[in-house]
Amino acid sequence: MSHAVSLHPWFPPPPAGTPPPKPLRAIGIVGVEKTSTGIAHWCATKGLGVMMHDLEAGALTHAVENVRNLFRAAEERNEITHAAAHKAMGGISITTGLEDLEFCDIIIETVTEDIASKRARFERFGKLMPKEMVLASCASGTGLAEISGATPAPERLIGLKFFDPVGETAQVQVTLAPATSRETAERVLAFVTALGRQPLLQGPAKS
């Protein structure tokens, strides 16, 4: 395992010879709130491809400018070269069409809204998105359990919550949903670690 967090309290050990989980390299972000831009910036900094989705084109344009400002600030602090920042920005794309996210390895939903709306969104994700895709929500606790009951792919659902400012916060909360599979958990824990962050793992949320 590439991360130090143990899954043994919730899952039996994988069979001998089990291949390592497939890495999450193409990141879809649903919603353009402040945390979203921080996630996009940090993922791009680590060389990952990012696609940001929102229904409003204007909101996406504003989000991209916010990400660009994060790179400019990092340049001013000599944390990244201009060439590296330019290359990272080139890995970020935007879309108003949900179908464009089907090529991502994970969808990270960051929208702050009522659970009913989240349930409807993840029900659609479960039906439309490829079976290999991880479905991550910023919801936690009983809210995550409610979403799990609505999606046709509950084994792919997991809670993933970044904290502001994303580029300066060392920890990321990972919450298992009631039906999260070991593979999904391993992929997300490895993803968080690859971002240089420490996952704070919580057990399955109760309904």
Domain ranges of the chain: 26-202
Residue 88, helix vs strand vs coil? helix
Q: What are the structure tokens assigned to 184, written together?
A: 């999904």
Beta sheet of 171-176, edge-to-edge order: 92-95, 49-53, 26-30, 106-109, 134-137, 157-161, 171-176, 198-202
Cβ neighbours of residue 17 closer than 8 Å, sequence gap 6 or more: none
Fold (CATH) for 26-202: Rossmann fold (3.40.50)
What mean pLDDT do residues 2-28 have?
A: 87
Computed over every residue of the chain, the mean pLDDT equals 92
pLDDT digits (tens, 9 = 90+) for 96-117: 999 999 999 999 999 887 889 9
pLDDT at 2: 44
What is the rounded distance in angstroms from the CA atom of residue 18 to the CA atom of residue 139? 30
Q: Return the DSSP state at 25.
A: -
pLDDT digits (tens, 9 = 90+) for 152-203: 999 999 999 999 999 999 999 999 999 999 999 999 999 999 999 999 999 9
pTM across the whole model: 0.93
Cβ neighbours of residue 44 closer than 8 Å, sequence gap 6 or more: 50, 67, 88, 89, 91, 92
Taking the alpha carbons of 92, 183, 147, 199 in that order, is the dihedral positive or negative? negative
Q: Return the DSSP state at 80.
A: S
Angle between helices 82-89 and 57-76 (to 10 degrees): 160
- The answer to whether 1 touches 186, Cβ cutoff 8 Å, is yes
Catalogue the E-assigned strands of the chain: 26-30, 49-53, 92-95, 106-109, 134-137, 157-161, 171-176, 198-202
What is the rounded distance in angstroms from the CA atom of residue 143 to the CA atom of residue 156? 16
Q: Return the DSSP state at 205.
A: P
What mean pLDDT do residues 141-149 have?
A: 89
Query: CA nearest 61: which of 30, 90, 96?
Result: 96
pLDDT band per the 50, 70, 90 thresholds, residue 1: very low
